[in-house]
Amino acid sequence: MRARLLRFRLALGAQALVKGLAGLRQSLQTENIAAAQNRMIEVSNLSKRYGRHLAVRDISFSVSKGEIVGFLGPNGAGKTTTLRMLTGFLPPSSGTATIAGFDIFRDSIEARKRIGYMPENVPLYDDMRVREYLSFRAQLKGLKGSDARRQVTDVIDTCGLESVRRKMIKTLSKGYRQRVGLADALVHQPELLILDEPTNGLDPVQIRQIRELIKRLALNHTVLISTHILSEVEMIADRVIIIDNGQIKAADTPQNLINEMRTAGRVHTEIQAPFEEASSALARINSVKKVTSELLEDNWIRFTLWSDSGTDTRQCIHKLCMENKWQLRSLVRHEAKLEDVFVELTRKD
């Protein structure tokens, strides 16, 4: 009797365990599904080889719906190659990518429907008029009749092309050509915009106009925008992916990247003091990682103190000068910028 009871209890325990595990699995699955549903781009171990040159090396990253992500890297970093793979124009050598859950090659039609791609050098037909060109593109993308007409009118309005809609494309300025490129990318109402250096070659006024337009589009699109211009990323993006030499060096918000920098805090100071003594005393200040110096006129020395982000060594420097009766004529804190992160991550030495 007792043995039966025990067996019964054991069976109950096992049942509860199995139930518990099933519940756990279910909740994990639900979480995965939720994460996946929120995912616009998922890149896994993507590589591209041109002959012997590995242009993109096993990169992985994701972009959530609604994000504006800057894809930042110097020329030749592999930005265009990556974007061309994401948009299905270039087969990867290995790895995969999905757009809103659709594999860029196995479900390329579904994936491409969701992408508005503006390539690096927008290939426009010079001998077409703007509206005519956009209608032609709309049809290529499968829009028909009144749908196509309405969409073309819409993107002409959105991109500020009203005044040039009857003009031949070859007569347009570079700024307007870029806007036609954007209109083309938008005409089939994609959720995701992939823009490859959209402000390249524009003058400052045109750059500002295109950035404003992109910011407006970002209100209701997910945007992945490549650039080698730092200020552009700071102005537009919520998050930055830094790529160099085909590899991802960092991916985070600009502020987090700055905070995590090894030597984000920097103070420049000019002191009149015995060189050796001052150098070693400054290097001993808490949190100082590195001291560099430059000799100026009349025994003045310019020191630069590098320390962790968020630290401010100015008071310690001041105190040190007071104690040693050194002359102090300048004490300036340099706030780290995304540029510093970029330089540190992409430095060739």
Ligand X SMILES: Nc1ncnc2c1ncn2[C@@H]1O[C@H](COP(=O)(O)OP(=O)(O)O)[C@@H](O)[C@H]1O
Binding site for ligand X (CB under 6 A): 50, 53, 55, 73, 75-81
From the list Mg ion, ligand X, none, partner contacted by residue 165 (C-beta under 5 to 8 A by kind):
none
Closer residue to ligand X in complex, CB, 55/130: 55
Q: Please state the closest distance from residue 73 (CB atom) to ligand X, in A.
A: 5
- Report the Cα–Cα distance between both ends of the chain, in Å, rounded: 79
Closer residue to Mg ion in complex, CB, 70/265: 70
**CA dihedral of 93, 99, 103, 108, whole degrees rounded to 10:** -90
From the list Mg ion, ligand X, none, partner contacted by residue 285 (C-beta under 5 to 8 A by kind):
none
Closer residue to Mg ion in complex, CB, 48/79: 79
* Separation CA 337–CA 349 (nearest Å): 20
Q: Cα–Cα distances in Å, from 266 out to 124, 258, 304, 348?
A: 48, 12, 7, 21
Q: Please state the closest distance from residue 246 (CB atom) to Mg ion, in A.
A: 12
Q: Please state the closest distance from residue 197 (CB atom) to Mg ion, in A.
A: 6
- The answer to whether residue 199 forms part of the interface with Mg ion (CB under 5 A) is no
Interacting positions 209-268 with Mg ion (CB under 5 A): none
Residue nearest to Mg ion (CB): 80
From the list ligand X, Mg ion, none, partner contacted by residue 241 (C-beta under 5 to 8 A by kind):
none
Interacting positions 115-144 with Mg ion (CB under 5 A): 120
Indicate the burial class of 204 (C-beta count within 10 angstroms; 0-12, 13-18, 19 or more).
Answer: exposed
Contact yes or no for 67/83 (Cβ under 8 A):
no
- The answer to whether residue 178 forms part of the interface with Mg ion (CB under 5 A) is no
Closer residue to ligand X in complex, CB, 74/160: 74
Closer residue to Mg ion in complex, CB, 120/270: 120
Residues contacting 341, CB < 8 A, separation 6+: 242, 250, 254, 257, 258, 261
Closer residue to ligand X in complex, CB, 2/53: 53
Instruction: Tell me the pairing of strands 288-295 and 265-272.
Output: unpaired
Closer residue to ligand X in complex, CB, 55/148: 55
Q: Please state the closest distance from residue 307 (CB atom) to ligand X, in A.
A: 33
From the list Mg ion, ligand X, none, partner contacted by residue 146 (C-beta under 5 to 8 A by kind):
none
| DSSP one-letter code for 196 | E
From the list ligand X, Mg ion, none, partner contacted by residue 8 (C-beta under 5 to 8 A by kind):
none
Other CB atoms within 10 A of residue 49 CB: 14
Contact yes or no for 111/100 (Cβ under 8 A):
yes
Other CB atoms within 10 A of residue 96 CB: 16
Residues contacting 224, CB < 8 A, separation 6+: 41, 63, 69, 71, 83, 86, 192, 193, 194, 195
Closer residue to Mg ion in complex, CB, 120/252: 120
Q: Please state the closest distance from residue 79 (CB atom) to Mg ion, in A.
A: 5
- The answer to whether residue 80 forms part of the interface with Mg ion (CB under 5 A) is yes
| Closest C-alpha to 124, from 165, 187, 178, 162 | 178
Q: How many residues bind Mg ion (CB under 5 A)?
A: 3
What residues line the site for Mg ion (CB under 5 A)?
79-80, 120
